[in-house]
Structure 1
Amino acid sequence: MDTAVAVWGQLATLLVMAFALGLDAFSLGIGIGMKGIRLIHILQIGLITALFHVLMPLCGMFTGYYVGTLLGNVATAAGGGLLLLLGGHMLYSAMKGESAPSFDHGTLWGILLLALTVSIDSFSVGVSFGMFDSDLLLTVLLFGTFGGIMSVTGLWLGRRAGHWVGEYGEAFGGIILLVFGIKFLM
């Protein structure tokens, strides 16, 4: 019974974290989509963003696992602190009102840079999850799926014109990361 509860708790945590990290791609996608984007570019950006949302947390988890074996019991506190810092930074950036960087999303380098930009926080969260010995395959698949789907959704909605979520998506994601950071520190 306790094992089943732990598995469902881990799944719920991963789903919420994947959603929170996908909000960054979603909100940036809205901004880019509002500038005008072709459907083929929406699909390309979505696929590459999904790939980066798999690779970045994977690298982070390996790093976190290594750091976790070095730090031992301090790893949980370090992971929670990292989530607090990341969530605080996302919230600060959203409140400060930094505009989305302008990318030439029609080139491979532009798409790669865009995907890296929206998935860099997945690396940090991956480090935290590596310290907690999270399920590797489930984590990266959920992060990749949510990152890709939310990127495509944001680009498509932005293309259709929707200025309402772009400003608040990153703030909401930051709040979610702050809450989990506090939870891991308790």
Structure 2
Amino acid sequence: MPFTSEIISIILLAIGLSMDGFSVSLGLGMQQLRLKRIAYIGLTIGFLHMLMPLAGMLLGQVISEQIGQWTSFAGGVLLFLIGAHMFFSAFRLTEGFRWQPVGVGLWIIAFSVSLDSFTVGLGLGISGVQIFVTLFAFGIVSCFLTWLGMLIGRKVYRFLGVYSELLGGSILCGFGIFILFS
């Protein structure tokens, strides 16, 4: 894949992965958080959106040496399945328990919205993308979208919350299909 199209794909993937954090931050924004707390939450989520896929990529590279020719196919299928899960989970009818964004609760929130980044990192490690560029994009985009979500959360959560998960899942599915057929 040429470098420019890889960058565009990575940015789109970063946006898709960041939609979980964006959705959660829309809800957190309704708690009237101070700007300092908003900044800290965004940085924490951005950090874990870099750390989790790094762990997945490293494991994915080890696995790719073992399974050879099936690596791109496996990565594409994995990304598609994650996106499909994210897309369909947007249709949940009940609202689950929400942790408060302080101390351990913040790390649990950040971990939960970054967990899908690990499995995406696994798929990306198998496909052999550029690690530094990918991690940087994941961290910056997720941090920015988390901040943005918290700042606009008071106004539009009920309208955009479900749609942001649908969009994120659609982007991941599309990226998985792109890898499968390229």
1:26 deviation in Å? 0.8
Give the letter aligned to residue 152 of structure 1: W
Asked if residue 61 in structure 1 is aligned to residue 49 in structure 2, the reply is: no
CA distance in 1, matches of 2:80, 2:24: 22
Query: CA–CA distance in 1 between the matches of 2:129 and 2:63?
Result: 14
Residue 135 of structure 1 corresponds to which residue in structure 2?
130
Which residue type is aligned with residue 125 of structure 1? V
User: 1:76 is matched with which residue?
Assistant: 72
> TM-score, length-normalised on structure 1?
0.92
- Displacement of 1:98: 4.9
Q: Return the match for 2:161 from 142, 160, 166.
A: 166
What does the per-residue CA deviation read over 1:124-144, in whole Å, with 9 as the maximum and x for residues that have no partner? 111111011110100000000
Instruction: Show the counterpart of 1:180.
Output: 175
Say which SS state the counterpart of residue 91 (structure 2) adopts: helix
Aligned to 2:106: 111
Q: Kindly report structure 1 stretches of 4+ aligned residues shifted beyond 3 Å.
A: none
Q: 2:149 is matched with which residue? A: 154
Normalised by the size of structure 2, how large is the TM-score?
A: 0.94
Q: Which runs of 5+ in 1 are unaligned?
A: none
Q: Secondary structure of 2:2's partner?
A: helix
Q: Find the counterpart in structure 1 of residue 8 from structure 2.
A: 12
Q: Is the 8 A contact 1:83 1:178 kept in 2?
A: yes
Shift of 1:101: 3.7
The alignment of Structure 1 onto Structure 2 pairs a total of residues equal to 180
Percent identity reads: 34
| Deviation of the 1:67 alpha carbon | 1.1
